[in-house]
Structure 1
């Protein structure tokens, strides 16, 4: 049984992006089929749609290959598997450099790169703060953490305490805890997409817990369409239809996972700079990018930034990003110029 990564991004992927998947039968006019492959991974589900011949998919054992691949990703990066590669690193009391697998190196490298690019807003070491505010596996605190407890917990975090060099990973303090759930599902999507392409399928949709990557066309010759969910907790409704083309899509939001105490609402998304839940009007960020892993990380980082900083960051870095901001009258939708081409 697959075990999940840290809750934060699993929930985001599951709950902040709704998809319009057509479950069509084969279209005899074009002679192609939509082959559906599904399963469980990372504490959530995955869906793969391949356009081609069903017998070809069976002969190549594509579903079995996907299962094996995702098991490997879990064994490398899960914080829920005690003997996973990442768990062993986190539990080690040594500050010495440890050789890591190619997969773990690839994800940590991107996490560090995005952390620097976003000015530390994406920080894969904030797990202790997530737990402190009650969004981890521990029980939620009865009261808001004190300044002293917040400071002592924050001292145990920091991307500057994590280093990767010559295929080896090291931590500056023994208690440093790395959680890759902000980008690991996206990495899994990328790996599955690469796998199906190696098997000769150039028209597909790959989705894991809400993060996705698409290429080519559906069985009827039309482009894949994706629905971004309206950021409300009372219903499931479509905010915007997009056509991502040959790209990945990731959305982050804070409108479903939160708690209230003393009349104040606390989001599950933690700002690494303050050590506290974010507190601004930006409620959803969608990023379109060739890499699902990169889109995954960027959407989280910009959610932490808030609407003004996130928009400026996206424009400065030429990103395709859509922002939904809460206003007195409801919600306001904003996007970068690069995102406009994907709007339906």
Structure 2
């Protein structure tokens, strides 16, 4: 018997309540929202003396996000990533500057963490988590091992001329880094206008800068991962400063088959869905792309490996694990300055 379902993980809320009250009219916010990358975006900026017309600003944001999507979406037939995925082995494809940045960081994170693999799509498909697929049976060990032998960032070659792969069937998927890169592109657009105080959110992930009009810092709430279904409860409030904030995901996808639950998080080292107690990962980093990738990678690691990695690389990381005695939290040494003391 099979059952498909969804369960909540951690979601971030921007806490505007502390900014209530009288605001300097010179700091009236400009707010825009829209759709991108299969999800939504929400942007709030305080332009101060900078002239910013909302409609034109939204047009510029949409243009930037469309360009990222056209480059990195596997759902667009003629996207840059799909053209690479159809490429023959050992053929160098010239790539755009955006594509190069995301590829380079994805390879770096893959090599560093050993748990983030942007070529792992076929393995995810094998377990029944690909687009429009449903699991019918558990893959055999031989099927898993055959798939593992034919994926890996070590089969990519990024040079000044472009990108190539050693296997024709090797495919890329930037689901763990492209959304964060979109946030970074919008943040760069805002900063080029001379605006320092802003919040950019796409699909629950954030990049923030500066302060609110009353000079108080942005405050972000991490939601309880064990809140009753349909309810949103605050677990912890943080003040991230000028950083991006990423979670391991708004939802976790899973299925149940023959009495066993399988999550969509696959460990490339074992080729199998992870089974551990880590239910939430919060990562702070100046780059939303990097925070995005690290949140996924650390979630796959599990609690103890994630702790060790965070301390080794001095990363601001906050973990929530489920134990028989309830939720257990861990804050890395580098995360301590961002914890709200109220």
How far residue 152 of structure 1 moved from its aligned partner, in angstroms, is 2.4
User: Match of 2:14, SS?
Assistant: coil
Q: How far 1:228 moved relative to its partner?
A: 1.2
For 1:225, the equivalent position in structure 2 comes to 219
Partners of 2:45 and 2:180 lie apart in 1 by 19
Say if 2:143 is the partner of 1:149.
yes
Alpha carbons 1:253, 1:303 under 8 Å: kept: no
For the residue of structure 2 that corresponds to 1:206, the secondary structure is strand
Alignment equivalent of 1:64, drawn from 59, 64, 83: 59
Contact 2:246 2:295 in 1 (8 A): yes
| Deviation for aligned residue 1:198 | 0.4
Out of 245, 253, 258, the position equivalent to 2:254 is 258
User: 1-side partners of 2:82 and 2:35: how far apart?
Assistant: 21
Mapped to 1, the partners of 2:166 and 2:224 lie a distance apart of 42
Is 2:169 the partner of 1:175? Answer: yes
From 100, 103, 108, the equivalent of 1:113 is 108
TM-score (norm 2): 0.91
| Kept in 2: contact 1:107–1:184 (CA 8 A) | yes
Q: Is the 8 Å Cα contact of residues 30 and 219 (structure 1) preserved in structure 2?
A: no
Q: Distance in 2 between matches of 1:57 and 1:136?
A: 42
Farther-moved stretch of structure 1 (128-137 vs 270-279): 128-137
- Structure 1 stretches lacking a partner, 5+ long: 1-10
Quickly say closer, same or farther: Cα 1:254–1:204, change in 2 above 3 A.
Answer: closer
Tell me, yes or no, if the aligned pair for 1:26 and 1:33 is still in contact at 8 Å: no
Per-residue CA distance 1:133-180 (angstroms, 9 max, x = gap): 122213222221122222222233111111111141011100001001
Question: Is contact 1:259-1:267 (8 Å) kept?
Answer: yes
Instruction: Confirm whether residue 209 of structure 1 aligns to residue 207 of structure 2.
Output: no
Once the two structures are superposed, the pairs formed by residues 78-93 of structure 1 within 5 Å of their partners are: 78-93=73-88
1:188-245, CA deviations, whole angstroms, 9 ceiling, x for partnerless residues? 1111001001012110000111111100011332111111121137243221111101
How far has the Cα of 1:253 moved from its partner? Answer: 4.9
RMSD: 2.3
Q: Which residue of 1 aligns with 2:3?
A: none
Asked whether the equivalents of residues 62 and 196 of structure 1 are also in contact (C-alpha less than 8 Å), the reply is no
Shift of 1:126: 0.6
Which structure's relative contact order is higher, taking Cα pairs within 8 Å and 6+ residues apart? 2
- 1:1-344 residue pairs with structure 2 within 5 A? 16-22=10-16, 27-29=22-24, 31-52=26-47, 56-58=51-53, 61-118=56-113, 120-232=114-226, 234=229, 235-253=231-249, 256-344=252-340
Q: SS of the counterpart of 1:332? A: strand
Q: Deviations over 1:288-317 (max 9, x none)?
A: 111111111111111111111110110010
Partners of 1:39 and 1:255 in 2: CA distance: 20
The verdict on how the C-alpha distance between 1:252 and 1:112 changes in structure 2, with shifts beyond 3 A counting, is same
- Other structure's SS at 1:143 match: coil
Gaps of 5+ in 2: 1-5
CA–CA separation in structure 1 for the residues paired with 2:174 and 2:49: 34
Tell whether the 8 Å contact from 1:131 to 1:138 is kept in structure 2 after alignment: no
Cα displacement (A) at 1:15: 6.0
Q: Deviations over 1:97-144 (max 9, x none)?
A: 1110000000000011111111x2111011111111122213222221
